[in-house]
Amino acid sequence: MEGASFGAGRAGAAIDPVDFLKQPQTLLRVTTWIFSIVVFGSIVNECYVNKDSQHPELLCIFNENESACSYGIAVGVIAFFGCIFFFVLDLHFQQISSVKDRKRAVLLDLGFSGFLAFLWFVAFCFLANQWQRTTLTRGFAQGADAARAAITFSFFSIIIWVVLALRALQRYRLGTDMSLFATEQFGTEPSASYPGYPGGSGVESTETYQSPPFTETLEANPKGYQVPAY
């Protein structure tokens, strides 16, 4: 984008809500926000079940491993609030006038997106591994669909967070266009002259100083004038 600073326009410019919602980055954040709800919602609501009638206590459906359910819930909650935070940051990003603050925001987005991609990768591997080791009983079979949904959307979340990290890296590489923050009185072209600077050839004049016009040398006794005698 021409005249952009870290992927955004001129600071203080008006924001069109419709255009903002249509941006790929906004759509990706909303999508991964929904995926995080599906993951931790499925685990909390349907992945704690009774193994059978002889075991009334609730057990984690992923091979009865409480750590698997706890980890999936934790990553889903972190992604949920992270999406909200960066959604608000994207909304107000164009209002940030400082180049350094914009740079910090983009680096924060890059680091967080990469970190979440790693967490979702671990979650997918962990949940899938524990699900393979799970012995399905009548009680566990009731939550099988929820377990599969958590694993599936964990995998999709990896892809989306990787894409968000790559987009943040692209924004960082765009760098800064300092012309956004220059005053309007300077020319936009590099060859433009400084406003108000007097033009000239640059060669010092060698002409001698001339007396001002309409000035004559005063004589003590002008010709034709006689001093009267008293």
Is the CA virtual torsion 94, 99, 105, 111 positive or negative? positive
- Give a yes or no: residue 3 inside a domain: no
Neighbours of 169 (CB within 10 A): 15
Total of domains in the chain: 1
> What's 162's domain CATH number?
1.20.140
HSE on the CB side for 30, CA within 13 Å?
9
In a domain, 105, yes or no: yes
pLDDT for the residue numbered 191: 52
pTM, 2 dp: 0.69
Per the domain annotation, does 186 fall within a domain? no
Residue 186 has a pLDDT of: 44
Which range of residues forms the domain containing residue 165?
17-176
pLDDT of residue 181: 47
Q: Is there a domain that residue 183 lies in?
A: no
pLDDT of residue 182: 43
Which H or E element spans position 56? Answer: strand 55-60
Rounded CA separation 177/192 (Å) = 18
pLDDT of 92:
85
Judge residue 60's burial from the number of C-beta atoms within 10 Å of its C-beta, 0-12 exposed, 13-18 middle, 19 or more buried: buried
Q: Does a structural domain hold residue 222?
A: no
Residues of the chain scoring pLDDT < 70: 1-16, 52-53, 55, 176-230
